[in-house]
Amino acid sequence: MSLPIQLISTDFDGTLFAEFESPPIPEAVQTLIGGLQSRGAKWIINTGRDMSSLMEALGRARISVEPDYLVLVEREIHCHVNSQYVGLEEWNDACVRAHAELFARVRVDLPRIVAWISARFHARLYEDAYSPFCLVAGNNGDANAIHEYLNEYAHSIPHLTVVRNDVYARFGHEAFNKGTSLAEITRRLGLNPEVVFAAGDWLNDLPMLSRRYARWLAAPDNAVEAVKQAVRQQEGFVSKLSHGEGVVEGLEYCLVSAKRAQESRA
């Protein structure tokens, strides 16, 4: 009988990785995921970080297992090949083109958006390689108010979405997110959502925390309430443990549930 869960997608910061804990990624996570990889399962780190930031954090964490795939900046897909990560060219090129076309329509409105935020809040606004509009708010209350304003604007621009994590936000294309990236990897592996597990803790994880993309869902105790509610509403598992320990509990619970479901279909 095949593994009941064959693809594991985990957010990084706050879900798998806790900066100030020792170790930042619990040994139990590494043992569990490494054991599943040895039996043929694939593991994705599905994160908002870029490559250099993630590699640096993994190095500091002294992680003993390697993810098979990375989803970076919530949208770029990279595959582990011969000790390095190689971009999936077809997907990543389409992603770049779609964002360039979208952001060309958005740029004309940016001075108005920046002026509105600057008049009301203390926030850092900047452009980077991934978005012409990026935000670091002063606190979560300000971030919530700005997020509401940005969402109203996004509704007026086809395909535009606001990607939010804690006090950070940026514009993105709705077709390229943690969920659609997970779906693309699932497709390339010839799998279906019935054998996919996903775990996350913040709003930018919601696109992948959907049974459209993963039958088995989990959230650690430190997840924001909107994430916990979304997971519970889809019969997923919300742990009473935080960060990586919560991922271990959630994955173990889902493995047992998935095996039972598999046996009932046999």
SS (H, E, C) 131-142: CCCEEEECCHHH
For residues 79 and 94, the answer to whether their CB atoms sit within 8 Å is: no
Residue-level pLDDT at 101: 98
In which band, very low, low, confident or very high, does the pLDDT at 179 lie, cut at 50, 70 and 90? very high
pLDDT at 2: 86
Q: What share of the chain is helix, strand, coil (3-state, %, to 5)?
A: 45, 20, 35
Residue 67 has pLDDT above 90, yes or no: yes
* pLDDT recorded at residue 234: 97
- What lies within 8 Å, CB to CB, of 51 at 6+ separation is 70, 72, 78, 85
Q: pLDDT tier at 231 (50, 70, 90 boundaries)?
A: very high
Q: pLDDT band for 20, please (50, 70, 90 cuts).
A: confident
- Distance in angstroms (rounded) separating the CA atoms of residues 232 and 246: 15
d(CA 164, CA 205): 9
pLDDT tens-digit series, residues 84-135: 999 999 999 999 999 999 999 999 999 999 999 999 999 999 999 999 999 9
pLDDT mean across residues, the chain: 96
Rounded distance between C-alpha atoms, residue 258 and residue 266, angstroms: 12
pLDDT score of 260 more than 80? yes
SS3 of residue 82 by DSSP: coil
pLDDT of residue 1: 55
pTM: 0.95
Instruction: Using alpha carbons, select from 175, 174, 218 the residue that is nearest to residue 11.
Output: 218
